[in-house]
């Protein structure tokens, strides 16, 4: 299964080691699923993580290493067609674009309401817990 992980899931995973988002991120190297990334998405990850209120134990180097890891394991997708504006929050259109271009099965996000009508593209919208249940990682 190939997914796009919304920035809010990545942020939540780095903010707390409890919960579904952390479990999802900890499974990235397991090869149970793959992730699609794009330049705009990686830039957003970096911007949000660096300005966010993460634990003081997480340094900018930790964030850079995390982003490097995402880039290493992610399927890097170039975007040749823009679906803008399509979503209620136009700031999320780039997530839809990478999902469509990379033929993803799902977008994993805590903001499901931002991704209305994405099913038209054959893409499901799941929160981290729903995704982990589907993987069979949690009941």
Each residue of 33-79: pLDDT tens digit?
999 999 999 999 999 998 877 766 788 898 999 999 999 999 999 88
**What pLDDT, on the 0 to 100 scale, is given for residue 85?**
67
| Global pTM value | 0.92
**What pLDDT, on the 0 to 100 scale, is given for residue 31?**
87
**What pLDDT, on the 0 to 100 scale, is given for residue 2?**
98
Q: Are 130 and 23 in contact (CB under 8 A)?
A: no
**What pLDDT, on the 0 to 100 scale, is given for residue 81?**
64
pLDDT digits (tens, 9 = 90+) for 79-121: 876 666 667 666 788 999 999 999 999 999 999 999 988 999 9
Q: Which of 19, 7, 115, 107 is nearest to 52 (CA)?
A: 7
Domain boundaries, the chain: 2-135
Cα separation of 80 and 77, whole Å?
9
Q: Is the pLDDT of residue 17 over 90?
A: no
Q: Is the pLDDT of residue 20 over 70?
A: yes
**What pLDDT, on the 0 to 100 scale, is given for residue 87?**
72
* DSSP states of 31-75: SSSEEEE-HHHHHHHHHHHHHS---TTS-HHHHHHHHHHHHHHSE
pLDDT band (50, 70, 90) for residue 28: very high
Superfamily of domain 2-135: 5'-nuclease (3.40.50.1010)
**What pLDDT, on the 0 to 100 scale, is given for residue 70?**
93
**What pLDDT, on the 0 to 100 scale, is given for residue 78?**
85
Q: Are 9 and 128 in contact (CB under 8 A)?
A: yes
**What pLDDT, on the 0 to 100 scale, is given for residue 53?**
72
């Amino acid at each position: 299964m190939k997914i796009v992980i919304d920035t809010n899931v990545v942020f939540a995973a780095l903010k707390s080691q409890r919960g579904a988002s952390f479990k999802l991120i900890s499974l990235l190297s397991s090869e149970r699923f793959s992730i699609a990334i794009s330049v705009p998405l990686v830039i957003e990850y970096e911007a949000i993580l660096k300005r966010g209120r993460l634990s003081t134990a997480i340094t900018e180097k930790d964030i850079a290493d995390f982003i490097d890891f995402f880039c290493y394991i992610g399927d890097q997708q170039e975007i040749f067609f823009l679906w803008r504006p399509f979503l209620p929050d136009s700031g999320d259109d780039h997530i839809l674009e990478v999902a469509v271009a990379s033929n993803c099965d799902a977008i994993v996000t805590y903001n499901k309401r931002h991704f209305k009508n994405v099913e038209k593209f054959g893409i499901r919208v799941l929160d981290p817990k729903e995704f982990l249940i589907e993987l069979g990682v949690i009941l």
